[in-house]
Structure 1
Amino acid sequence: MTRPLLQLTTLLLATACAAGVTAQDEALDCVINPNSTVELGSHQDGVLEAVLARRGDIVTRGQALAVLDSEMEAMNAELARVRAESDTALRSSQVQAGYRDREWKRLESLRDNQSVSASLYEEADIEHQLARLAVETAKLERSIAQAEYDRARAQLTRRTIKSPVDGIVVDVVMSPGEYVHEQSTLMRLAATDPLFVEVYVPVASYGRITKGDRAIVRPEAPIGGEYRAEVTVVDQVFDAASRTFGIRLELPNQDFALPGGVRCTVEFSDGLETAASVPQ
């Protein structure tokens, strides 16, 4: 939670907590926040070619949001592809190795009949071994070419900037034509599924609320409605000044219908198990 939202939440809850009520006595004030905010940057430097999302758009993890100029990277990838797919050097070395193998076998049979000198045979034997090594070298070079092609494709892919989260585009900071570097922020995203409900509970309620407990969250107007949320965090450090401790609940928001940054009330009740009318 950002500092302004934390201060707002603390201020909202201070009055209720000062009255000495417990969480089971009545609804408590809370704030619904995104589970995280992301300042989207880039792996690489370059000129921004296109922005593919606008403020307010719903985006999914892995969705392309912006593209950097990638003409040079595309050319490098194509060159690497041609090298990786070429087997000319390998076939040439295999042909040479086949010839040297036949020549070596011919001279070996002649050596048995003492029809060829030892030096000529040794020369053929060395050429035979070198030809076999040339085949292995060609295979290795082709594997290296494939690896270089994979690297070139990865570098090209990194020119497309993708969303790391499911959420909402809060703000688009940069426009096409601007230069992007490693410190640049292209846009800001808010991950809103699930939402985090932050509430400060009187110390008197400590031990009565545990992880996995359910609660009813009621966003303020004009959002309205009632929603189930589950306790995921119970702070182990209290705030001595307000005599409260923090609790976080997770609120499913798969359809992104609920916005973040909304005030709400939350009610911890033993009757949640039978509250069938409360929407999920």
Structure 2
Amino acid sequence: MVLGPRSVLGVGCARHRASRLAILCVASLLGIGPSLLHATATYDCLIEPMQMVELGAPVSGLLERVTVKRGDRVTRNQVLASLESHAEQAGADLAHYKSQLVGPAQLAQSKIEFSSRKFARRRDMAAEKLMSKQDSDDAEAELKQAQAEQVVAKENREVARLEYVQQSSQLNLRTIRSPFDGVVVDQMMWPGEIFEPGATKHAVLKLAQLNPLRVRVVLPMRAFGEPALGMDAKVAPEILPNTTYSAKVSSIDRIIDAASGTFVVFLDLPNPKLDMPSGVKCKTTFGNTAK
């Protein structure tokens, strides 16, 4: 009996009892490419925070208050802690008051109006030979001096405004704010302690961004080139093995670790309700590229 091509391949596949060789043989028989086989493979992964930062201040001072505690959810730009800043606040208030002064400008404007009328009268009298030319020149000089005083008043007010901006910036350096929406992971300092940048305790709080989460997937070298940016993936966390979450490929390592023969792919896993903790092992299955 003459066997057809598929029958011959089927007989050849039957000789391979090892599961991987049998799968490859059947794939060749059915015309399935290697990428489709990898689409059903499961890889180990780890769920991590998108970012974790330690927050402090760029200046030294007495830690006056901390408004959050470990486990609290925080929002972007929320005030988390502040250093003692009474002197800096007083300096900012003084600079703000100076920037609002209008008296010098009004005084200069009044001098300009008076000097203008005085100069006009003396100029006309000098033209009619009723007053010496010197008196007219003196009145003109007074007018120009009043105009210069008005310019100085405006410049001083602008300088005061810039001083207020500077003092406010110095004051803001003593306030610690959240750089993103996240969760307080740890508190390293408490009110009453002296904070010094670069010291042993160089941070007051530690924050983690948990939405989205970052999934670290370690892939073998043979899979390099198959994952693509935007590709869909299913993540099954260790604490909920029967539940899967949708994620997308956000970053792919371009350097393969020679010692282990692996590379890392990062996924973005949405976590708006923060119901998924970080630091959990998981399993990942890749799908098709997102359109």
Q: SS of the residue aligned with 2:217?
A: strand
Structure 1 stretch 62-71 or stretch 143-152: which is displaced more? 143-152
d(CA) in 1 for partners of 2:106, 2:234: 72
The Cα shift of 1:222 comes to 5.4
- The equivalences for 1:234-245 within 5 A come to 234-245=252-263
- Identity percentage of aligned residues: 35
Distance, in Å, in 2 between the alignment partners of 1:272 and 1:137 is: 64
Q: 1:224 to 1:175 in 2, by over 3 A?
A: farther
- Larger Rg: 1 or 2? 2
> 1:178-217, aligned counterparts within 5 Å?
178-183=193-198, 184-217=202-235
The offset of 1:232, in angstroms, is 1.2
The normalised TM-score by structure 1 is 0.84
Q: Deviations over 1:37-68 (max 9, x none)?
A: 11101032211100111111111111110011
Report SS of the residue matched to 1:123.
helix
Shift of 1:254: 1.8
Quote how far apart the aligned CAs of 1:260 are.
Answer: 1.4
Give the conservation status (yes or no) of the 8 Å contact 1:61–1:163. yes
Q: Which has the higher contact order (CA 8 A, sep 6+)?
A: 1
Name the Cα RMSD after superposition.
Answer: 2.2
Select 1:152's aligned residue among 143, 167, 170. 167
Q: State TM-score, norm by structure 2.
A: 0.81
Q: In 2 relative to 1, CA 140–270 (structure 1 residues): closer, same or farther, beyond 3 Å?
A: closer
Note if contact 1:47-1:68 (Cα within 8 Å) is conserved in structure 2: yes
Deviation at 1:223, TM superposition (A): 7.9
- Give the corresponding residue for 1:262: 280
Structure 2: state its 5+ residue gaps. 1-33
8 Å contact from structure 2 (residues 108, 153) kept in 1: yes
Contact 1:23/1:201, CA 8 A, preserved across alignment: no
* CA distance in 1: counterparts of 2:153 and 2:65, whole angstroms: 41
Aligned in 2, Cα 1:116/1:210: closer, same or farther, shift over 3 Å? Answer: same
User: How big is the shift at 1:109?
Assistant: 0.3
2:47 pairs with one of 32, 51, 68: 32
How many residues were matched structurally? 254
Aligned-residue offset at 1:169: 1.0
In 2: Cα distance, 1:271 partner to 1:88 partner = 68
Query: Residue 140 of structure 2: which of 118, 122, 125 is its match?
Result: 125
Q: Give the counterpart letter for 1:98 in structure 2.
A: E
